[in-house]
Amino acid sequence: MLKFHNVFSLNELPVGTMKMVVLENKEILISNVTGTIHAISNRCTHLGGSLVKGKLEGQIVTCPRHGAKFDVTSGEAVGPAKILMLKMNVKNEQIFPVKIEADQILVGIEAL
């Protein structure tokens, strides 16, 4: 069963920024891309780097560890991780449904 959690108000997440929350023991990256709110898993699918510590450019977040890139609007992996000269494919990130009620951001999680 899907349960929506109130995470914070819209004014706490300006356009072009991201924050991490923990819901049901899952780290979730919440981002504001041109006024639309998106939610994906916070841990890189390569080696678990924290994406909130990375850089958000447009709708692409780059993992600070090895540079893997993910589209925060779809969770799609759009760039490989790189260690020295090696490139490693990464899996897509899990996405979570988001809704806005009044000025509050709510994120949906499957209830445990």
Structure tokens at 46: 């390569």
pLDDT at 108 over 70: yes
Mean of pLDDT values over 83-112:
92
Q: How many CA atoms lie within 13 A of 60 on its CB side?
A: 9
Map out the domains of the chain as residue ranges: 2-110
Question: Could you report the per-residue pLDDT of 19-35, keeping only the tens digit for each?
Answer: 999 999 999 999 999 99
Would you identify the CATH topology of the domain 2-110? Answer: Rieske Iron-sulfur Protein (2.102.10)
DSSP 10: G
Distance in angstroms (rounded) separating the CA atoms of residues 101 and 74: 22
Using DSSP, state whether 47 is helix, strand or coil: coil
Q: Report the predicted TM-score, pTM, of the whole model to 2 decimal places.
A: 0.93
